[in-house]
Amino acid sequence: MKDFAGKFAVVTGGGTGMGRELARQLIAEGCSVAMCDVSDRNMRETIALCTADGIPQGAKITAHVADVSDEAALIRFRDEAMAAHEMDRLHLLFNNAGIGGGGSMVNPEDRADWERTFNVCWYGVYYGVRTFLPALLAADEAHIVNTSSVNGFWASLGPNVSHTAYAAAKFAVKGFTEALITDLRLNAPHVKCSVVMPGHIGTAIAGNSRKVLAGHDEDVLSPDELARARTRIGRMGLDADQLTDDAIQAMVAEQARRFLEDAPMTAAAAATVILDGVKAERWRILVGEDARRMDELVRADPEHAYEPAFFATLAKEVGWQLNGVAASQAD
């Protein structure tokens, strides 16, 4: 698929971050887009940006509220999207939606967040492929693009942060997509697939994840969130009892800001890398120099990949900081 003009694409998590930028760049190329997200407000902002950019004649963008971890909601999204675009086939599926959180398998209070994070990041991809596969098969050419992460080949954010839910889900996405290569080649050779593994990309995942897990869209932390934040801070070796509620609120806001604004690559640049990889039919798309270097380091010394010394080397070489990137992704 050398260009996207006249094609029809589905993008999950289109309200912010890489999903928003994928939608903008696809629309700019003349590709129609149906996106879903849990935030209608965020999707309206995406549509406003696409409109300001200029929507080419024949292209169309629609927004649909759906939780990707809910198969029934994705089926409803599919039916609404196909009807709204008057299409019976799909050329591009970007299973992009994801959240972070629920790091520990050991701490019982983390279970709800653990399962919510895993369900969004893994089942959102699995259900996405299942739901849209008939429409992809009906197209003359099609491409499935599943977003994993560097945490799909390195299951850590450093020695002081539990990260099992997100990493387990992203490993599942990577393995699933790799297995699809042969499955599709044998049974649907006109459908290709790619796994995307971004490093630190400037997105609002830190703030958005907190809101999804908390079940509200407010910037101010609830009393329950403050208590849980204190617990997480304590697990990282800091004395959370000496911090006021306002100080914890400020720390969480600063972590989200740093993850968004201090990243080495913007979401727009990441979207360009992804779309270029699709056009080149690359099944493995590393996004960012930190992702590339991290991949090299893990492959060179997998036996020691989870030792503190390994993280120290990695942080030095790729610029990751435990109190910045790691804390933001973990929560």
What's the CATH code of the domain at 85?
3.40.50.720
Note the pLDDT tens digit of each residue in 278-317: 999 999 999 999 999 999 999 999 999 999 999 999 988 8
* Residue-level pLDDT at 229: 76
* Residue-level pLDDT at 261: 66
Range of the domain at 188: 8-205+265-330
Q: What's the rounded Cα separation, in Å, for the pair 19 and 6?
A: 19
User: How many whole angstroms from its chain centre is CA 103?
Assistant: 16
- C-alpha torsion 66→71→77→81, nearest 10: 140
Q: What's the rounded Cα separation, in Å, for the pair 157 and 159?
A: 7
Q: Is residue 318 assigned to a domain? A: yes
| 62: β partners | 34
Nearest one of 27, 15, 50 to 275, comparing CA atoms? 27
* Residue-level pLDDT at 210: 57
Question: Does position 3 have pLDDT exceeding 50, yes or no?
Answer: yes
Residues in the chain: 331
Orientation of helix 17-28 relative to helix 40-53, angle to 10°? 30
Note the pLDDT tens digit of each residue in 42-63: 999 999 999 999 999 999 999 9
Nearest one of 143, 136, 126 to 275, comparing CA atoms? 143
Phi-psi region at 86: left, alpha or beta (left = phi > 0; alpha = psi -120 to 50)? left
The distance between the two most distant Cα atoms of the chain, rounded to a whole number of Å, is 62
* Residue-level pLDDT at 331: 28
Question: Which 8-state DSSP code applies to residue 110?
Answer: G
Q: Determine whether 86 is exposed, middle or buried from the number of CB atoms within 10 Å of its CB (0-12, 13-18, 19+).
A: exposed
Say what percent of the chain tops pLDDT 90: 71
Q: What's the rounded Cα separation, in Å, for the pair 314 and 116?
A: 29
DSSP output for 182-233? HHHHHH-TTEEEEEEEE-SEE-SHHHHHHHHHHTS--SSPPHHHHHHHHHHH
Q: What's the rounded Cα separation, in Å, for the pair 325 and 330?
A: 8
| 12: β partners | 36
Q: Is residue 195 assigned to a domain? A: yes
Q: Is residue 234 assigned to a domain? A: no
pTM across the whole model: 0.88
Q: How many DSSP H helices and E strands does the chain contain?
A: 13, 9
Question: Does position 262 have pLDDT exceeding 80, yes or no?
Answer: no
- Helix, strand, coil share of the chain (percent; to 5): 55, 15, 30
Q: Is residue 246 assigned to a domain? A: no
Q: Is residue 240 assigned to a domain? A: no
Q: What's the rounded Cα separation, in Å, for the pair 36 and 59?
A: 17
Q: Is residue 275 assigned to a domain? A: yes
Mean per-residue pLDDT over the chain, rounded:
90
Span 144-164, average pLDDT: 94
Note the pLDDT tens digit of each residue in 174-219: 999 999 999 999 999 999 999 999 999 987 766 676 567 667 676 7
Q: Determine whether 242 is exposed, middle or buried from the number of CB atoms within 10 Å of its CB (0-12, 13-18, 19+).
A: exposed
Q: Is residue 252 assigned to a domain? A: no
Span 132-155, average pLDDT: 98
Q: What's the rounded Cα separation, in Å, for the pair 192 and 13?
A: 21
Q: Is residue 244 assigned to a domain? A: no
**pLDDT range class, residue 6, cuts 50, 70, 90:** very high
Lowest mean pLDDT among 12-16, 66-70, 159-163, 227-231: 227-231
Span 258-275, average pLDDT: 87
* Residue-level pLDDT at 328: 33
* Residue-level pLDDT at 206: 65
**C-alpha distances in Å from residue 85, one per residue of 1, 76, 312:** 20, 14, 50
Q: How many domains does the chain have?
A: 1
Nearest one of 78, 71, 72, 63 to 13, comparing CA atoms? 63
Phi-psi region at 210: left, alpha or beta (left = phi > 0; alpha = psi -120 to 50)? alpha
Question: Does position 88 have pLDDT exceeding 80, yes or no?
Answer: yes
